[in-house]
A and B are shown apart, each in its own frame.
Chain A
Amino acid sequence: MTWSATARGAHQPDNTAFTQQRLPAWQPLLSASIALPLFFCAGLAFIGLGLGLYYSSNGIKELEYDYTGDLGTSNCSVCAAAGQGRAPPPRCSCAWYFSLPELFQGPVYLYYELTNFYQNYRRYGVSRDDEQLSGLPSALRHPANECAPYQLSAAGLPIAPCGAIANSLFNDSFSLWHQRRAGGPYVEVPLDRTGIAWWTDYHVKFRNPPLVNGSLALAFQGTAPPPNWHRPVYELSTDPNNTGFINQDFVVWMRTAALPTFRKLYARIRQGNYSAGLPRGAYRVNITYNYPVRAFGGHKRIIFSSISWMGGKNPFLGIAYLVVGSLCILMGFVMLVVYIRYQDQNDEDEE
C-alpha cells in the first residue's frame, strides 16, 4: 500500500511536465559573465562586417551634378530663370560637361535625383488609381475618387492616368554624349531605357487598356491627359511596348519614393562599347529642362553610379556596423572590468 498505488481521485490533475510547468527550459542569466563573450563576439563580427561593407561601398563610384540652376551655378540657370514663374515652363535645354580621367567601371546606372520633393505626402501618395493603371477599362472611364482633383478634366473627361502622382510626372530628359578624343565629335552613348522599372510593375501591375482596333490611341479616346502633361499618355514613347501606362519612366515615377530626397533610375548604360563602363574621355549630358522644382526649394541632380553586390553606394551601413561593433567592444570592456571586480566580491562572499 504505497500512495501511488491508491486509486487516483477523479479530480486529480494530470501530472505531466506541461501542466505542472516543469517543461525543460533553458534559463539564461543575464550577467556580466554571460554578456561578456556575447559583446566581444558581436563586436568583432560587426567590425568585420562593417569593414567589408565600408570597402565595398567605397569601391562604388558616383558622379553627380546638380542642374537645378540656382544662382547661375550652372548653365542650366538660364533655363531655371526662364521657367521662373511661368505656369507651363517653356521648353529649354542645357548641358553638363564632365570628363572622366579613367574608366568608370560598369555597369553604370544613370539616376536623376530630386530633393525636397515629398512624394510620401499622404494626400499625394494616395492620389492614384491602381485599377486604372492596370488597364481596367471601367476604371479608365471612371477614375477613383482618390484621384481628385485630378480625376476629371475641366471638360469633364476622365483623366488618364489620373491623380496627382501622374500629374507631376518628371519630364526632364537626358542624353549622354561621349567625346573619345579631345576636340573630337560627341558620340551618343546608348542609354538603355528599358528594364528600369521593377519587372512585376512593368509586366503585372501596369497594363494598358485593351487596344481598340489595334490602336492605343483609340483605347484612350474619351480621356484627357493630366493637366500638366503636354501630350497624352499614349504618346509618351513611340515604342509600343513603352508607351501608355507601361512607359517605363512613368512606371518608375509611379512607385512613390519613401523619402523627400530620392533618386530614380533613368537609364542603364550597358550597350556596345559601354558595357564595361564609361571609358575615359569628355562627356556631355544634354538636358531638356522642363521640371520646375525651384518653386518649392527642390533640387534636381543627375547621377552616374556604378553598382556592386550590395546595390548602390551606401557608406552608411558600413559605418553603422563599425560603430555598433566598436560600441559592443567598448561595452565588452566595461563588462570585463565589472566582471573582474564582481568576481572578486563573489569569491569573498563565498569564502
Chain B
Amino acid sequence: MEQEPAAAEEPGSPGARRRRRRRRREGRTRTVRSNLLPPPGAEDPGTSVAKGARRRCAGTQHLADNRLKTTKYTLLSFLPKNLFEQFHRLANVYFVFIALLNFVPAVNAFQPGLALAPVLFILAVTAFKDLWEDYSRHRSDHEINHLGCLVFSREEKQYVHRHWKEVRVGDFVRLRCNEIIPADILLLSSSDPDGLCHIETANLDGETNLKRRQVVRGFSELVSEFNPLTFTSVIECEKPNNDLTRFRGCIVHDSGKKAGLYKENLLLRGCTVRNTEAVVGIVIYAGHETKALLNNSGPRYKRSQLERQMNCDVLWCVLLLVCMSLFSAVGHGLWVQRYQEKKSLFDVPESDGTSLSPITAAVYSFLTMIIVLQVLIPISLYVSIEIVKVCQVHFINQDIELYDEETDSQLQCRALNITEDLGQIQYIFSDKTGTLTENKMVFRRCTVSGVEYSHDANARRLARYQEADSEEEEVVPRGGSLPQRGSSGSHQSVRIVHRSQSTRSHRRTGSRAEAKLASMLSKHTAFSSPMEKDITPDPKLLEKVSECGRCLAFARHQEHPLAHLSPELSDIFDFFIALTICNTVVVTSPDQPRQKVRVRFELKSPVKTIEDFLRRFTPSRLTSSCSSVGSVAATKSAHKAGSSFLSTLPNDGALLGLEERLGPPAPALASNGYSSGARGWAAECAAAREPQPEPEPEPEPHSEPQPQPGSGPEGELRYEAESPDEAALVYAARAYNCTLVDRLHDQVSVELPHLGRLTFELLHTLGFDSIRKRMSVVIRHPLTDEINVYTKGADSVVMDLLLPCSADDARGRHQKKIRSKTQNYLNLYAVEGLRTLCIAKRVLSKEEYACWLQSHLEAESALDNREELLFQSAMRLETNLHLLGATGIEDRLQDGVPETIAKLRQAGLQIWVLTGDKQETAINIAYACKLLDHNEEVITLNAESQEVCAALLDQCLHYVQSRSPHRAPKKTAGSLSMGFSPVYPPSTVTTAGPSLSLVIDGRSLAYALEKNLEDKFLFLAKQCRSVLCCRSTPLQKSMVVKLVRSKLKAMTLAIGDGANDVSMIQVADVGVGISGQEGMQAVMASDFAVPRFRYLERLLIVHGHWCYSRLANMVLYFFYKNTFYCGFSASAMIDQWYLIFFNLLFSSLPQLVTGVLDKDVPADVLLTEPQLYTSGQNREEYRPRTFWLNMADAAFQSLVCFFIPYLAYYDSDADVFTWGTPITAIALFTFLLHLGIETKTWTWLNWTACGFSILLFFTVALIYNASCATCYPPSNPYWTMQTLMGDPVFYLTCFMAPVAALLPRLFCKALQGSLFPTQLQLARQLAKRSPEKLSAPKGTFAQGHVPGEPRTEPSEQRSLRASGSFSQDCGSQASWHAQQPACSPEASGEPSVVDMGVPLREDTLLEGLSGQTPGASSRGQVVLEGCPGYSRRKPTSTSRAAPLSSIFSLPSFSSLSWISSLSLVSGLGSVLQFSRSGLQMGKRDGEFLASRPQPDQDLRGLSGQTTDCF
C-alpha cells in the first residue's frame, strides 16, 4: 500500500512545502491544508506574513466552495441569455424577421408594433417557462445549500453548525450516523474502534449495500477524540474528476512521512453515513468539484421523432408559402402592368409621380405576401406543443397507476420533449438484474450432501407473497378505472371479499402492509422485507440440524468432536457454518449505529506475519473454549434476564479498563504485548466464568422450541451485506437457528442450537471477484481447532475445484455420487431460474496453512502485480475442496414482468435483454419472464474468435433462411465448429413454425459488433423474436443500442437500473431508469424514471400512445389551421388583428385542451389490446401522406370559406371588413367543428374551451371594433362587427360555410369509420359497446397470469391439498434425475468454462460435443419409443401427478411451462431447440405428468416426448 506514494516521493526532498509548490506549478494535483491552521506565515517564520496570506488566497481561490448552483441564469443575465438561447430556434428568428419586415413602409401589411406582438408573446411564454424552471432549480439548490452540518470552527474551538454552502475545502466536518455527506471528505477519524466507517452510496451509484471506508492510515490509531487543531498534515491529491471509483493522493505528515490515500479513505458527497456513530474528515473537494456533481450532467436535450418530422413539414410550409407568394407576386406584377398604362383611377403612383414598375411592384408584393401569409407557418406550434408536452408530462407524473406505494415513488419524466416518442418505440433493450428482477434474493431451496431439501413451505410462503401482490394490483386498478360506480363502494366490496377469505387474506394484506411498512421505516437497508427474512425451514433439514447440534453439544469436549457425527450431519453442520460465516455481512441493530459496546475476547487482526501465525497457533484451546463457554453463558443469562450481556458481567470496570488499555496501540505496533494481554484477559475471563454452571450437558434451555427469529433479542439483528445473495444465505441459516450474531474483522460469532455462541477466529477473507467467481474465508474452528477454508461460489467453478475422488474406495464413490446428485439438483435449480451457489470446505493442516500463508503474505507485500499474485494465492488455497452442498436463491422477478413482456410483445415491440450476468442465469430468467418460450428455437452464439463468429453467423443465417421459406428445419448439428454446440432436435414441422431466439455472450457480441459482421448479426437478430446478450459490458450494451438505432432506423428504448446501464440509456431514443432499488445513476441519465418494470407497460402503451396521437393530431391540426387562408392580391381582407391573433388567441385553446386531454382509446382497452400500439410504431397518425391530405383538405376548406362569403357578398356594397370579418368567423367555426370531428373524447373542458374561443372572438371583435374610430391604421374596421351582428346574411353564411367546408371530411371519416375501420376505431367501438366485457379479461391479467394459462390456479390448489404425499414423490423425482447422463458437469458447464478463456477446455468441449451429437441423433428413436409408451400410460391416475407439479411450480410459472422447461436440462448451455408448439394445455397435462416419474425414462426421451408427441 505504501509503494505508490513512496515512488512519488523524491528522495532528497527535505520538507513538504517545497514539494507542494512544485505540485502547484504542475497543476495536476491539488493540495489541501487544514483551514484551522494559522496562515502559513506564522507557522513558518521564514516567509513573510503577507506572502503567506497571498499564497493562501491563491491556494483557496481556485477551489470551489460547497455552494451548489445549478441555475442557468442570474437576475441580470436572464434576458440576454434567454433570448440568445431562444433565437437558436430557427422559427423564432423567422418570425422576428417577418415582424421586422413590417417596419419597411413599402411592404408593410400590418401595424409594425402589432406584428411584433405574437413573437413577443411566444418569446415571453418560453422565457417565463425557463424562468420558472430556473427558479425551481434555484429553490432546490437553496434547500440543499442550507442543509446543516457540523464544521470545526477555529474561533470557537469546537464543532459548530454550518450550512452546507459554507463548507470550504480544508474544513473539518463531523458527521453523525445517517447524515448525508456534504462534500468529498477524507476520512480522518471514526468512532469505530477499527477506524471503519460504513457509507451507503445509493444516491450515487445506486447500490444499496454498505461500503466500508477506512480512516487514513496513520490516523486509525487515534481512536480517542481526534483533534483537528493538531492536524498539520498536508494532503495532496488529484484534481477533481468524475471517476467515482478512483481516488489517489497522499497525505504528508509533519514528520515528512507520507501515506497513500485511496478511494477507501474518501467519503463522497451525497452518500449517507451508516452504522457509525460519528466520523471526522477534512473536505477535499467541495461543491461542483465533488465527484457526485461532476458525474451529474443534468437533463439532456433529445429531439423527438415527431418533432423532426414536424420540422420537415414546417419547411414544406415555408416552401408552400414562398410558392404562393411568388405566384401572387407574379400575378400582381402582371396586374400592375395591365392597369398601369391605362391610368386607372385606383392606381397609386410613387410619390415622385412616376408609376411603379411592375417588377418592383411584384417584389414588394412578394414581401408583403410573405407577411400576410405568415399564418401559414404555425407560429404558436412550438409553444403549444411545449405546453401540451408539459401537461402530458404532468399527467404522466400524476398517474396513480404508475405510483409505487412500496417505495413511495412515482414516475418521473426528466426529459420534457420526447413524451410522444413513447408511442413509437420498436425495440426495448432491458437490463436484467434489478430491472426484470427485483434484485431481492430469496433463499428457496438447498441440497446438502446430495440430499435435496425442497423447502416446500418456503415455496408456498413465497407464492403467498406473490399472490398478495397480485391481489393488491387487482384492487388498485379496479378502484381506479370504475369511478362512475363509486370508487369507495367498490373498494368496500373488495375489502369484504378479502375479509371473507379469513386468514389467508389477512395474511396477505398483513404481509403486504408489513412489507411496506418495513421498507418505509428502513429504506437504508436493502434487505429488510419479511419476505426475504422469514424463511420457513424445511422440517427434515431442521430436524437434522438440531440433531447434529445435540451431538456436538455432547461431544464438544472430546478430541475430535466432529468425528462423532455421521458424514452427512457433519456436512450439514459445516454447510450452515459456511452459510453463516462465509460472507462479509455486517450485523447491526436497527436505528442505532454499530454498537461500540462489544464483547472483545481477543483483539486480533487477521494474521499478518508468520510469527503471528506461529504464536497464535500454539496450543490455545483454552482461549477458544473459554470464549465459547463465556458466550453461551452470556447468551443464556441474556435470555433469562432479558438484559444485555454487559450488565451481567461482574467485572464491568475491569473489562472497560482492559479495553482502554488495549485500545490505543495499533495491532501492527504492539501485537506482542497485546496478544499476551489478550491471553491474560482470557484467563481472567475463564476464571470469572468458572462458578457459572456448565450448560452443555443439559439441553433443557434449548430443547424447548427456539425463540422464533424476530421475537427474541437477536431478532433485532439486521444484516447488511454487500450483495443480496449473502444476506439471503445468512437469513436462511438463521431460519435454522444458526444465527450470525456478530462480525468483527477478525472474528465471527455464531449462535448455534444447543451449542450456544461459537466464536470463529477469522484468519483471512478472500473476497469475491468476478474472475474467480467465488469467495472464501479461512477460519479456525473453535471446536476442532482446525483451520478450515469455506468457499462459496458459482457451481461451474467450484465443481471443478473439488478434491478428485477415486472411484476405488467406497467413500470416494459415495462422494462421486453426492457430486453428481448435487450437480443434478444444480441443473434443476438453474432450470427453475434460481441462482445457484456451491458451498465447499477444505480442512487445512497447520503445515499446509503455514506454507500457504507464507506465499500469501509475500503476495500481499509484493510491489508490483500484487493483484495477480493475490489471485494466484487465492487459487492455491481454493483447491481440493470438499463439496458440502448447494443453494438455490431466487432472484425474484418483479411483479408482473412476464405479463408486461407478453403485452409489450403483443404490442409489436421487440425486447432484447442485455445483461452482464452469466449465460445460464440469463437464459433462466428469460424463460421465467416469458421472454424465451419453450417452443421456440434458441440459437446460442458462443464464439472464440472473429472467424468462428463469422462462420457461426453465416451458418445461423443459412439456417434461418432455409427454415423460413419451406419450414423444413435442417439439422446442421455436428458440422459446426467448436464453441457452437448445436443440438438441434428434429423440430417438428408444425403449422406455425417456432419462432427463433438468439442468445449471444459478451465475447461473441464483441466480434459480432465488428464492422464486417454487424450487418449479419443484425439480420439474424431481426429474424429472432427475442435476443439475449449475456456478459455484455456497458459499452457493448450501448453499442448494440446504437447499432439497432442507426442501422434499423428504429425507435429504441433502453431500460435499466444500475450504473452499468447508463451508457445504453443515454444512447437510446428513450432512456428509462428504474428508480426503485438501485439508486440514482441510471435515473440521472434517463429520460423517464419508473419505479418498476411493469409500469413500462402503462407508460408505453397508454401514455405513449396518447401522447403520440395527441401530438400528432395537434400538429396536423396546426398545419391545417395555418393553411387556411387563401391569398388575395396583397391586401388582406381580414383585419390585421384577427390575422395576427387568430392562431394565438382565438383558436389555440380548444386545441390545447384536445392536445392535452384527448384519448382516442381508453386506457383499459389499450392495455387489453396491446397490438393497438403498432399504430404508433408505424406512425399511422402522422405521416407525410396524412400531412398532405390534411393540407389538401385545408385548401378545400379555405376555398369554401373564401368563396361562400365572396359569392354571398358579390355585387353588393360590402366593404373590405364587412366581408372579411364573416370569413374570420367562418374560419373559426370551421376550425372548431373540424376539431370536433377529430376530438375523440369530449369532456367539459373541451366544451368550455370551444365556448371560450367563440366568446373570446366575438368579445374581442366587438370591443376592438368599437374602441377607436381612427386607430389601427392601415385597417380600420370601426363598428363592423356591430353592423354585421345585425345582418342576417352574416349568420346565414356563418351557418352554412363551415358545414359545407367540413362535409367531405365528415363524409370520408364516417365512410372510413364504417367501411375500413382502423384497429383503433374498432377498439373504440369495442370499448363503447361493452365496457363490461373489458373488465373481465382485465381481472385475469391483474392476477398475474397470461391468458394462455388458465390451468395454473387449479393445479396450485391441488398442490396444497396433496402436499402430504410429496416426500415420496420427491424421492422418485430425485432418482430419476440422477440417472440422467447428459447432465454431467462438463457438458452443461461448457459455455461458461469457455468464457474463462482457458485453452485447455477446448478439448473437453469437443469431446462433449462429440458425446452429445449421437445423443441428439438418437433422439428420434427415443421419441418413437416414447409415444406408444405414453399412450399406454394414459390411464395412470392424475392424483399422483399433481403434487409433483406443485413441487416445481414456481410462483410465476405455470406447472406446464415448467415441465417443458425440464427438457432444457439436457442441452443446457448449448444450442437449445425445442418445439413444443401445438402443445395443448387441456386435460392432457395431467396425463403427461403422470408419465414422468418413470425411472427408466431418459430425460431426452421425455423432452422428445414433449416436442413430438403432442
Contacts and interface: CB of A to CB of B under 8 A. Distances in A.
A29 B1325 contact: yes
Contacts of B84: none
Given A21-B1159, A31-B1310, A261-B1211, A127 B408 contact: no
Contacts of B491: 2, 4
A21 B483 CA distance: 11
B345 interface: yes
A200 B1269 CA distance: 9
Contact of A31 (B398, B516, B1314): B1314
A131 to B, nearest CB: 5
Given A30-B1313, A258-B1215, A205 B1270 contact: yes
- Of A33, A119, A125, A146, the most chain B CB neighbours within 10 A belong to A125
B403 A127 contact: no
A246 to B, nearest CB: 13
A327 B347 CA distance: 43
A10 B1209 CA distance: 64
Interface of A: 1-4, 6-7, 9-15, 17, 19-35, 38-39, 42, 46, 49, 53, 111, 113, 117-127, 130-131, 133-134, 136, 144-146, 148-151, 164, 168, 198, 200-201, 204-205, 228, 255-259, 261-265, 291-293, 295-298, 309-312, 314, 316-317, 320-321, 324, 327-328, 331, 334-335, 338-339, 342
Nearest to A328: B1303
A23 B1218 contact: no
Contact of B1243 (A25, A164, A291, A297): A25
Contacts of A291: 345
Contacts of A334: 1307, 1311
B395 A314 contact: no
Given A2-B491, A262-B1213, 4 more contacts: A31-B1313, A31-B1321, A134-B1269, A200-B1282
A14 B398 contact: yes
Contacts of A49: 1292
A194 B1428 CA distance: 113
Interface in B1294-1352: 1296, 1299-1300, 1303, 1306-1307, 1309-1311, 1313-1315, 1317, 1321, 1324-1325, 1328
Nearest to A321: B1296
A330 to B, nearest CB: 10
B711 interface: no
B1421 interface: no
Contact of B1130 (A117, A122, A127): A122
27 contacts: A9-B408, A11-B409, A14-B398, A15-B400, A19-B395, A21-B1163, A22-B483, A24-B1243, A25-B1242, A29-B1313, A29-B1324, A33-B1314, A122-B1130, A122-B1131, A133-B1270, A149-B352, A198-B1279, A198-B1283, A257-B1216, A258-B1216, A258-B1217, A262-B1212, A316-B1207, A320-B1208, A328-B1299, A338-B1311, A338-B1315
Interface string B384-425: 000000000001011110010100111000000000000000
B480 interface: yes
A35 B1237 CA distance: 11
A13 B403 contact: yes
B1214 A257 contact: yes
Contacts of B1314: 31-33, 338-339, 342
Given A31-B1317, A296-B344, A130 B1276 contact: yes
Nearest to B1131: A122
- Of A17, A121, A144, the most chain B CB neighbours within 10 A belong to A121
A180 B224 CA distance: 132
Given A27-B1242, A168-B346, A296-B344, A42 B1278 contact: no
A293 B1270 CA distance: 30
B699 interface: no
Nearest to A27: B1241
B1300 A324 contact: yes
B1395 interface: no
B1310 A30 contact: yes
A89 to B, nearest CB: 12
A120 B349 contact: no
Contact of B1131 (A31, A120, A297, A342): A120
A23 B1211 contact: no
Nearest to A124: B346
B509 A2 contact: yes
A201 B1289 CA distance: 21
B1210 interface: yes
Interface string B41-55: 000000000000000
Contacts of A145: 105
- Of A2, A201, A262, the most chain B CB neighbours within 10 A belong to A2
A67 to B, nearest CB: 17
Contact of A168 (B342, B345, B408, B1328): B345
A38 B348 CA distance: 52
Contacts of A3: 405, 472, 475-476, 509, 512-513
A127 B1244 contact: no
B7 to A, nearest CB: 51
Interface string B1122-1142: 000000111101000000000
A30 B498 CA distance: 43
A265 B1235 CA distance: 40
B956 to A, nearest CB: 42
A310 B408 contact: no
A12 B410 contact: yes
B403 A314 contact: no
B700 interface: no
A197 to B, nearest CB: 11
B1157 interface: yes
Nearest to B345: A168
B495 interface: yes
Contacts of A38: 1306
Interface in B1161-1216: 1163, 1204, 1206-1216
Given A15-B480, A200-B1278, A256 B1215 contact: yes
B1328 A130 contact: no
A71 to B, nearest CB: 18
A198 to B, nearest CB: 7
Nearest to B407: A9
Interface string B1220-1248: 10000000000000000100111111000
Contacts of B1237: 30
Return the 4 tightest CB-CB contacts between A and B, nearest first: A9-B408, A35-B1310, A296-B344, A122-B1131
- Of B1157, B1299, B1314, the most chain A CB neighbours within 10 A belong to B1314
Contacts of B517: 6
Contacts of B1317: 31
B1273 interface: yes
B1287 A311 contact: yes
- Of A7, A23, A342, the most chain B CB neighbours within 10 A belong to A23
Nearest to A144: B1273
Given A200-B1279, A317-B1293, A124 B348 contact: yes
- Of B353, B483, B1287, the most chain A CB neighbours within 10 A belong to B483
Contacts of A198: 1279, 1283
Contacts of A149: 348-353
A338 B1324 CA distance: 20
Given A11-B410, A25-B1241, A311-B1287, A258 B1220 contact: yes
Contact of B1269 (A22, A204, A338): A204
Contacts of B1245: 23
A316 B349 CA distance: 37
